[in-house]
Amino acid sequence: MTSSNKLLNKLSGGDRRSIGQSNKVASLVLKRPSLFPQLMQGLWNSDPLIRMRAADAVEKVSLHKPNLLEPFKAKILQMLDEATQQELRWHLAQIIPRLRLSKKDRTRAVSALRLYLDDQSSIVKTFAMQAMADIANTNEKLVPEIRELLTSLTKQGTAAMRARGRKLLRHLARKDRETTS
Query: For residue 5, what pLDDT is reported?
Result: 75
DSSP state of 36: H
Query: For residue 19, what pLDDT is reported?
Result: 72
Residue 109: C-alpha distances to residues 31, 60, 98, 129 (Å): 30, 20, 12, 12
Distance CA 112, CA 36 (A): 25
Report residues of the chain scoring pLDDT below 70. Answer: 1-4, 18, 175-181
Query: For residue 176, what pLDDT is reported?
Result: 66
DSSP state of 1: -
Query: For residue 92, what pLDDT is reported?
Result: 97
pLDDT tens, position by position, 7-41: 888 888 777 776 777 889 999 999 999 999 999 99
Whole-model pTM? 0.90
State the average pLDDT for the chain.
91
